[in-house]
Amino acid sequence: MRVSDLSEIFAISEVTVRSDLDLLASSTSIQRVHGGAMLDRSHSRPEQTFEQSAGTSPEEKAAIGMAAADLISSGESLIIDVGTTATAVARALAERRDLADITVFTNGLTIAAELEPEIPRMTVVLTGGTLRPRQHSLIDPYGDFIFDKINVTTAFVGCNGMHPQEGLTNINLPEATIKSRMVKAAQRVVVIAGGSKLGRISMARFADLDEVDLLVTGSSAPPELVAQFSDLGVATIVAE
């Protein structure tokens, strides 16, 4: 699309069009070209599987997992989301030999597998639901009932995008629906996201920034975005 065409279609100035296109290019799948913008097909990729994601930034995910696990004390109840970063959180929690009387609700089979050896000092509750193989996750139908009946201390929630204006978003609609229920069931919401997720926008919004208490991210996080989230009231831990 050309800037001049967009200006005419939306009845706005070309200066405004250029500004909006620059913003979209920084966070979504368009590419700025001379005089306009085009679809950036290099970013139009299908969702990665759990196994594909596991090979991306493993050190950063491990650091995020340890920083997140350090937030927990004995006696707490938790929700742990699905995904490779969430699995790193579960692994770090299992290594916290000082913890006891922890209850974890999860819709992730990999989370349950990491924590199973820690029973009985940790109680693991799977949500039930329909198995989604790409992330080894449990979703609707029948994946939602438990979140309406619990009130946990902390929820560790992942995302495909965290944006200053658009909040938390996810590439998959069924998982986004479950994530929104996780957020509502927790007294404290901790977003666990590598630096590559910050500033991005995916298809399905599941929470606004005012629903987030803390962001735990990695060393690849752009400092300007970390500062922007802080200005918006989201405390941030950058795990090294």
pLDDT tens digits, 76-113: 999 999 999 999 999 999 999 999 999 999 999 999 99
Q: What is the CATH number of domain 50-239?
A: 3.40.50.1360
Q: What residues contact 51, with CB distance under 8 A and at least 6 apart? A: none
Which whole number is the average pLDDT over 206-213? 97
Instruction: Tell me what pLDDT residue 10 has.
Output: 82
- The token pair at 218 is 């990695």
Q: What residues contact 227, with CB distance under 8 A and at least 6 apart? A: none
Instruction: Tell me what pLDDT residue 17 has.
Output: 82
Distance CA 6, CA 184 (A): 39
pLDDT digits (tens, 9 = 90+) for 178-191: 999 999 999 999 99
Instruction: Tell me what pLDDT residue 11 has.
Output: 84
Instruction: Tell me what pLDDT residue 111 has.
Output: 98
Do the Cβ atoms of 179 and 206 come closer than 8 Å? yes
Give the bridge partners for 114, in sequence order: none
Burial class of residue 3, CB neighbours in 10 A (0-12, 13-18, 19+): buried
- The token pair at 133 is 């193989």
Q: Where are the domains of the chain?
A: 3-43, 50-239
- The token pair at 145 is 């009932």
Instruction: Tell me what pLDDT residue 48 has.
Output: 85
